[in-house]
Amino acid sequence: MEKPQRLVFGETLVELGAENDRIVVLDADVSSSTQTLHFAAKYPERFFNFGVAEANMVSAAAGFAATGYIPFVSTFAFLLSMRAGDPVRAHVAYPRLNVKLAGGYAGLSDFADGASHQSVEDLAVMRAIPHMTVVVPSDITETRMAVRAVAEHEGPVFLRLSRAEVTEDYGPDHPFEIGRGIVLRDGSDVTIVGTGPMVQMAMRAADALAEDGIAARVVDMHTLKPLDDDLVARCAGETGAIVTVEEHNIYGGLGSAVCESVCASRPVPVLRCGIPDRFGESGALSEILARAGLSVEHVCELAHRAVAAKN
Amino acid sequence: MLDAQQLSLKSARYRRSILRLIKRAGAGHTSGDLSCVDILNVLYNRVLNVAPETFADPDRDRFIQSKGHSVEALYVVLADRGFFPESELETVCRFGSHFVGHPTRKVPGIEQNTGALGHGLPMSVGAALAGKMDARPFRVFTLLGDGELAEGSNWEASLTAAHYGLDNLVVIVDRNFLQITGPTEDVCALEPLEAKFRDFGYCVRTCDGHDVAALVQALESVPFREGRPSLLLARTIKGKGVSFMENDPSWHHGVPDEEQYAAAMRELDAAVAEREAEVAADD
Ligand SMILES: Cc1ncc(C[n+]2csc(CCOP(=O)(O)OP(=O)(O)O)c2C)c(N)n1
Ligand SMILES: [Mg+2]
Question: Model confidence over A67-115: pLDDT tens digits?
Answer: 999 999 999 999 999 999 999 999 999 999 999 999 999 999 999 999 9
A15 as an active site residue: the answer is no
- Rounded to the nearest whole angstrom, what is the distance from the C-alpha of residue B178 to the centroid of ligand 2? 4
The burial class, CB within 10 Å (0-12 / 13-18 / 19+), for B98 is middle
CB–CB of B83/B55 below 8 Å?
A: yes
Q: How far apart are CA A289 and CA A299, in angstroms?
A: 12
pLDDT digit string (tens) for chain A, length 311 residues: 899 999 999 999 999 999 999 999 999 999 999 999 999 999 999 999 999 999 999 999 999 999 999 999 999 999 999 999 999 999 999 999 999 999 999 999 999 999 999 999 999 999 999 999 999 999 999 999 999 999 999 999 999 999 999 999 999 999 999 999 999 999 999 999 999 999 999 999 999 999 999 999 999 999 999 999 999 999 999 999 999 999 999 999 999 999 999 999 999 999 999 999 999 999 999 999 999 999 999 999 999 999 999 96
- A182-308: in CATH 2.60.40.10: no
Q: Is B95's CB within 8 Å of A113's CB?
A: no
- Is the C-beta atom of B179 inside 6 A of ligand 1? yes
Task: Report the predicted TM-score, pTM, of the whole model to 2 decimal places.
Answer: 0.97
- Rounded to the nearest whole angstrom, what is the distance from the C-alpha of residue B148 to the centroid of ligand 1? 6
Q: How far apart are CA B197 and CA B204, in angstroms?
A: 7
Average pLDDT, chain B: 97
Q: What are phi and psi of A217, to 5 degrees?
A: -85, 145
Of the partner residues B25, B95, B152, the one whose CB lies closest to the CB of residue A56: B152
Q: What are phi and psi of A139, to 5 degrees?
A: -85, -175
- Is the C-beta atom of A29 inside 6 A of ligand 1? yes
Residue B283 has pLDDT above 80, yes or no: no
Q: Is A51's CB within 8 Å of B179's CB?
A: yes
Nearest one of B16, B14, B89, B29 to B265, comparing CA atoms: B16
Query: Shortest Cα distance from B2 to chain A (angstroms)?
Result: 34
- Rounded to the nearest whole angstrom, what is the distance from the C-alpha of residue B175 to the centroid of ligand 2? 6
Nearest one of A170, A166, A205 to A187, comparing CA atoms: A205
pLDDT at res. B1: 87
Q: How far apart are CA A143 and CA A161, in angstroms?
A: 8
pLDDT at res. A185: 98
Cα-Cα-Cα-Cα dihedral sign, residues A187, A193, A197, A201? negative
Phi-psi region of B28 (alpha: psi -120 to 50; beta: other; left: phi over 0): left
Q: Please give the CATH number for the structural domain made up of B4-282.
A: 3.40.50.970
Nearest one of A80, A152, A174 to A123, comparing CA atoms: A80
Question: Model confidence over B12-26: pLDDT tens digits?
Answer: 999 999 999 999 999
Q: Is A116's CB within 8 Å of B181's CB?
A: no
pLDDT at res. B247: 98
Angle at B28 between CA B23 and CA B33, to 5 degrees: 105
Residues of B in contact with A116 (CB under 8 A): 68, 101-102, 113-116
- Is the C-beta atom of B72 inside 6 A of ligand 1? no
Question: Model confidence over B109-142: pLDDT tens digits?
Answer: 999 999 999 999 999 999 999 999 999 999 999 9
**For chain A, which residues make up each domain, given as ranges?**
2-167, 182-308
Q: How far apart are CA B44 and CA B109, in angstroms?
A: 11
- A2-167: in CATH 3.10.20.590: no
Q: How far apart are CA A223 and CA A135, in angstroms?
A: 4
Of the partner residues B102, B114, B187, the one whose CB lies closest to the CB of residue A51: B187
Query: Shortest Cα distance from B22 to chain A (angstroms)?
Result: 11
